[in-house]
A and B are shown apart, each in its own frame.
Chain A
Amino acid sequence: MKKVLEIEGLFVDLQLPAGTLQAVQNVSFSVNQGETLSLVGESGCGKSLTALAVMNLLPPSGRFRAEKMEFMGESLLGVNEAGMAKVRGDKMAMIFQEPMTSLNPCYTIGNQLEEAYLQHRNVPESEARERAIYLLEKVGITAAASRLSQYPHQLSGGLRQRVMIAMGLMCGPALIIADEPTTALDVTIQAQILALLHALQKEFNMGLILITHDLGVVARMADRVAVMYCGQVVETGLAAEIFNNPKHPYTRGLMDCIPVPGKVEPGQKLGSIPGIVPTPIGNLHGCLFRNRCRYFRSKCAAENIPLIELGPGRAVRCISEQINS
């Protein structure tokens, strides 16, 4: 299988009044054609900034550096803004969380759908229109032609998210980055949108980076998973391995936190992770999870913990022997 995106040693720093926030530290991953990689973690773990760095859309206070960042075999490092603008929205598309705020209320759906296509393809407007109608139908919107003249406020949340997906697909991207694509939606709509995304991904053989905090979504969608904590990848592996045999104490803690019908008895206490996420400012050393970890030993504070390979594509950032028992 062909690698769509390959990243090695990605760092993102945010300049804040309080100091330099090391939002992403040494993150490496790759996505193949037709594969779903899920970046999962709680707010502030750096999962969204990782995606924004790939698109070169970091906020003004943010800077990134990487050893390697290859998109379809070509390096994105050192590509200027004009060069990135050619890639973004063409071969690399992004679907954001809030369809309410990421669609422009002043333009029609048709206008917004066609914009990127006209920009990248230099085709007559009628062709862009045709493609927009084709994709709106693909994402399950009825009466697609008449929708083109509607404004975002005339659509429901689920429809807006479908429009966002259609917009991402306009130029036939090789990679889609979906940042919490269903968090703002109802459960029934969420299931539909995810099923749609999954079907389209397989049909067009796209790579998908799915960023979410919802372990249920991850379990049902992802082929591979990278669990992030405090800017670092703490565990990676196939989805089945991560869920059936979580190794890192943080991953295990997350799994225990969610009420699962049939697994956790109603009224029974849920597991929780004590303490709060530290802010990665200043000199970071040792395991960043140590002050919340039940397996803490003095060694955890002394040295930086590397990602320890457990098997092909399976790694965990923990030195405790207990994680293997």
Chain B
Amino acid sequence: MEIQTVLETRDVTKTYMVGVGVMKAKKPLRAVSGVSLSVKKGSVLGLVGESGCGKSTMAKMILGLENVSSGEIFLGGQSLSSFSPKEIARRVQPVFQDPYASLNPRKSIGSIISLPLRALKVGSAKDLDGKIDEIMDVVGLPPRTKHNYPNQLSGGQRQRVAVARALIMRPEVVLCDEPTSALDVSVQAQILNLLMDLRRELGLTYVLISHDLAVVEHLATKVAVMYLGRIVEEAPTIDLFKQPRHPYTQALLQSVLTPEPHLGLPETHLGIAYPNPIDPPSGCTFHPRCPFAEDICKKEAPSPTGEGGHIVECHFPRS
């Protein structure tokens, strides 16, 4: 039996028009350009890249908060544009980065968690309490916190509230945008463990957006590396970390500071500048920072190549 594809993006592009100055024509900024991804049920897709690479724009489009400029997103085989916003909300739910900013300070925890049910008018008012208690138990929140307010909870508990709110609709896809980067290390481990347990128990599908490669390696089953709106490398997690083929992926992996004191600081050879996305470099957009760039890289954009699910967009992939 083939495993079902829950989420698929086909050649998705998002272009913003941005002002570059008074009395000057607006210029197009391609935040995401031609991204095709697919996520199988029960798997975890890790989306990594530096700030400004378009990963959050991808998230907004998957959540239906931004329209695609071209291309299409499919949810359970149906185009996202055929759904109403409420239907999308029923099927895709987010967990955001900062649990201090993403919870309404004036609402009680019970009210925050049950908001999706009430907004989408799912179930009767009578069932509501039972459902809140159930989901709080699932994410490991003590029942007594139901009538508390966010400021009475610790950072880890707040993030559990955010997870509970995302899961109460039993969505098909949970989109985690940097779910642990605002948390302390000991709390981060608790939340990562929780996300892993929930995936196993409830068969959840995650899209995990993170700049922390150690977290991505730990949680994701497949990783896509983004650079300037393009997916430059995509592979099953184990392959990607064992044998990164794109020079950018290699530089990213080298930059990870693991707690091994004898290794010292890595040398990444990346240069300073992340290019301005309004005015991207010609050819392969990575060429100004690439130590292996040759003439063709400046002229022609590489097309994706590779086999066995390990796809790389580079003229001279490393092996």
A191 in contact with B266 given A219-B258, A255-B259, A257-B186 (CB within 8 Å) = yes
Q: Report if B78 contacts A (CB, 8 A).
A: no
Interface-located stretch among A66-74, A84-92, A271-279: A271-279
Which DSSP category, helix, strand, loop or mixed, fits chain B's interface? helix
In angstroms, how far is the closest chain A Cβ from the Cβ of B189? 4
Question: How far is A213 from B241 in the complex, measured between Cα atoms in Å?
Answer: 25
Q: Tell me, yes or no, whether A42 is within 8 Å of chain B by CB.
A: yes
Assess the A42–B257 pair: CB atoms within 8 A: no
Residues of B close to A267: CB separation below 8 A: 196, 218-219
Contacts of B273 in A (CB 8 A): 156
Give A243 to B154 CA distance when docked, in angstroms. Answer: 28
**B201 at the A interface (CB under 8 A):** no
Closest residue of chain A to B51 (Cβ to Cβ) is A186
A189 to B261, CA, bound (A): 20
* Residue contact A191 to B272, C-beta cutoff 8 Å: no
Contact indicator per residue, chain B 26-55, by CB within 8 Å of chain A (1) or not (0)? 000000000000000000000000110000
Query: A253: CB under 8 A from chain B?
Result: yes
Q: Does B125 contact A (CB under 8 A)?
A: no
Q: Determine the distance from Cα of A222 to Cα of B263 in the docked complex, in whole angstroms.
A: 12
Interface contact B261-A270, CB-CB below 8 Å? no
In the complex, what's the smallest C-beta–C-beta distance from B136 to chain A, in angstroms? Answer: 18
CB within 8 Å of B: which of A251-266?
253-262, 264, 266
A254 to B211, CA, bound (A): 20
In the bound complex, do residue B257 and residue A219 qualify as a contact, i.e. CB atoms below 8 Å apart?
Answer: yes
**Distance of A45 Cα from B219 Cα, bound (Å):** 29
Cα A188 to Cα B211 with chains together (Å): 10
Give the chain B neighbours of A266 by CB distance below 8 A.
217-219, 237-238
Tell which of A22-30, A145-153, A192-200 binds the partner.
A192-200
Partner of A217, one of B193, B218, B257, B263: B257
Say whether B57 faces chain A, with CB atoms less than 8 Å apart. no
Contact of B252 among A157, A188, A259 (CB under 8 A): A188
Contact of B255 among A187, A221, A272 (CB under 8 A): A187
B185 in contact with A191 (CB, 8 Å): no
Classify chain A's interface size: 35 or more
Identify 9 residue pairs between A and B in the complex whose beta-carbon atoms are under 8 Å apart, listed by A's number: A158-B274, A191-B257, A191-B266, A191-B268, A194-B265, A214-B185, A240-B261, A259-B215, A266-B218
Q: Which of A188, A221, A253 contacts B268, CB < 8 Å?
A: A188
Task: Please measure, in the bound complex, the distance between the C-alpha atom of A259 and the C-alpha atom of B191, giving whole angstroms.
Answer: 12
Q: Taking A186-B211, A216-B259, A221-B265 as contacts, is the C-beta distance between A253 and B50 under 8 angstroms?
A: no
Cα of A260 to Cα of B260 in the assembled complex, Å: 10
Q: Is B259 a contact partner of A258 (Cβ separation < 8 A)?
A: yes
Interface residues as binary, B69-103 with A (CB distance below 8 Å gives 1, 0 otherwise):
00000000000000000000000000000000000
Which of A158, A190, A256, A262 is within 8 Å of B257, CB to CB? A190
Not counting A254-B185, A261-B258, a sample of 13 additional A-B residue pairs whose C-beta atoms are within 8 angstroms of each other reads A42-B184, A141-B272, A187-B256, A194-B257, A194-B265, A195-B266, A219-B260, A220-B264, A240-B262, A244-B261, A257-B186, A260-B259, A270-B193
Q: Does A172 contact B (CB under 8 A)?
A: no
Question: A269: CB under 8 A from chain B?
Answer: yes
Per a CB cutoff under 8 Å, which of A156, A162, A187, A218 touches B211? Answer: A187
Query: Are B265's CB and A191's CB within 8 A?
Result: yes
The 8 Å CB contact of B186, one of A222, A269, A273, is: A273
Is A104's beta carbon under 8 Å from chain B? no
Question: From A222, which residue of chain B is reached at the shortest CB distance?
Answer: B261
B305 proximal to A (CB < 8 A) = no
A50 to B236, CA, bound (A): 45
| A42, A162, A215, A220: residue with the most chain B Cβ atoms closer than 10 Å | A220
Contact for B185 among A192, A239, A257, CB less than 8 A? A257
Q: Type the 1/0 row for B229-269, where 1 means its CB is closer than 8 Å to any CB of A.
A: 00000000110010000000001101111111111111110
Minimum CB–CB distance for A46 against chain B, Å: 14
* In the complex, A43 has a CB within 8 A of chain B: yes
List which B170-191 residues lie within 8 A (CB) of chain A.
184-186, 188-190
Contacts known (A156-B274, A270-B193); A261 close to B185, Cβ less than 8 A: no
Cβ 8 A contact of A261, one of B184, B251, B256, B265: B256
Counting CB contacts under 8 A, is B192 at the interface? yes
The residue in chain A whose Cβ has the minimal distance to the Cβ of B185 is A257
In the complex the two chains form, is B252's CB within 8 Å of A187's CB? yes
- Determine whether B290 belongs to the interface, using a CB cutoff of 8 Å to chain A: no
